[in-house]
Amino acid sequence: MLCLFALCFQGWSSLLYGQSLVSFVPKNYAILDTIYGNLNLDTLSDAILILKVKSEKDTSNADRQLLILEGISKDKYKLAGRNDHIVFCASCGGAMGDPYHGATIEKGYFSIMHYGGSAWRWTQIIKFTYQEKTGKYILHSDMGDSFNSTEPSKIKTIKNQKANWGKVAFEDYSNDHD
């Protein structure tokens, strides 16, 4: 009974005070990247955590998790959202290898960058913004460039899912049908 109470209390207190970053990493997953910044425009630092399965190889097509973690107190976070269909898989970049090319947080925004292709190269930057009135994150833009590696100055700009910009929620976004 005492043990049960302790467990309950632990669960309750972690909801109130948040948890450390590593506590959000499920068993069998590893951290691919961690980015810090202020997403929800309060005074506390937030983080984007990108996770991969521990068994991931260059040829893997396993989903990668993107977690939005809002700071609650110093080094403590709460989960504000998760999406497994934003960060491209390890083998999704073609001949260029892993297409994940980093992520950034600007005040109230975050962007995930990809780069891939072979003779034809492409980039894709998926950007989300914090919506103050709802406390949610929505798609800001999803665009990139396409060019032939022999003519890198001839760049074509590609706008993906233009109709969803400013509308689709972070949790509902998927790059699968690009």
- 40 part of the interface to Ca ion, by CB under 5 A: yes
Q: Is the dihedral of CA 163, 129, 25, 101 positive or negative?
A: positive
Residue 75 binds Ca ion, judged by CB under 5 A: no
Closest CA to 156 of 165, 168, 166, 148: 148
Q: Is 37 in the site for Ca ion (CB under 5 A)?
A: no
Candidate list 34, 38, 131, 164; residue touching Ca ion; CB under 5 A: 38
Pick 40 or 123: Cβ nearer Ca ion: 40
Question: Which element (helix H / strand E) includes 105?
Answer: strand 100-106
**CA dist., res. 95 & res. 116, Å (int):** 7
**Contact indicator for 80, 69 with CB cutoff of 8 Å:** yes
Segment contacting Ca ion by CB under 5 A, of 57-65, 71-79, 104-112, 139-147: 71-79
Using CB under 5 A as the binding criterion, the count of chain residues that bind Ca ion stands at 6
Q: Let me know: does 69 contact 77? Beta carbons within 8 Å.
A: yes
Span between the terminal Cα atoms of the chain, in Å: 52
Structure tokens at 120: 């034809």
Q: For residues 71 and 116, which CB has a smaller minimum distance to Ca ion in the complex?
A: 71
Answer yes or no whether residue 106 interacts with Ca ion by CB under 5 A.
Answer: no
CB of 102 to Ca ion, least distance (A): 21
Output 104 or 160, the one with its CB closest to Ca ion: 104
Piece of 66-74, 79-87, 142-150, 160-168 that binds Ca ion (CB under 5 A): 66-74
Q: Which residues bind Ca ion (CB under 5 A)?
A: 38, 40, 42, 44, 46, 71
